[in-house]
Amino acid sequence: MNDDQVDPGELAALRAAFGVDDDGGASALGWEGARAFEARHGVTLPEPYRSFVAEVTDGSAQGPPHYGLSGLARAAASQDPDKPFPLTKAWVWEEDDGPYEDPDTVIEQVAHHGSLVLGTDGCGMDWHLIVTGPHRGHIWQITGEGAVPFGAEFGCTSARPGFAGWVRHWADCKEWFDGTAA
């Protein structure tokens, strides 16, 4: 996964997955808009998401996730994307407090620091793109019970990590968590 340079093949696959081949980028934010967002929030968006919102589309009524992909402004609402995302491995806080003195503070940070909310599958199952910290470029599912990274290297799915892998997995009509438990 390269989150600093876009792969043209990945961008073409993303365009096809969202069915926006024919709008010529009219639904995209544009590079000026993407750079303005980055400057305003003190982050550089990971690729291929960065090129996706600039050139392909800034949100979509169709998924992923189930209730559609949020536009960039909505994805950042109530988020602090410039603060580091605090986790590097799955944590089900409903089952344990983890290694934290103040788990409630860390849970709040998981939900709001270093990420953009891509959208929801409903029932409090939200998908986040991590934009800062060691997991920059990865997708996480964050729920009221815990947080789990998406990608084969984390053991819950057969999918490639990152935004392109997440979208490809959805476009191939696969179950989100089709691997072994992490």
pLDDT by residue for the chain (182 residues), tens digit each? 777 788 889 999 998 898 765 566 678 999 999 999 999 999 999 999 999 999 999 998 888 999 999 999 999 999 999 999 999 999 999 999 888 899 999 999 999 999 999 999 999 999 999 999 999 999 999 999 999 999 999 988 889 999 999 999 999 988 888 875 44
Inter-residue contact 91 to 147 (CB < 8 Å) = yes
Question: b or e along 92-129 (b: 16 or more beta carbons within 10 Å of the residue's beta carbon)?
Answer: ebeeeeeeeeeeeebbebbbbbbbbbbbbbeeebbbbb
| Separation of alpha carbons 72 and 171, rounded Å | 21
Element (DSSP H or E) covering residue 109:
helix 103-112
pLDDT for 177: 84
How would you list the strands of the sheet with 147-150, edge to edge? 115-120, 126-130, 139-142, 147-150
Cα-Cα end-to-end distance for the chain: 20
Task: Report the candidate in 134, 174, 173, 135 with the shortest Cα–Cα distance to residue 157.
Answer: 174
pLDDT for 182: 44
Element (DSSP H or E) covering residue 142:
strand 139-142
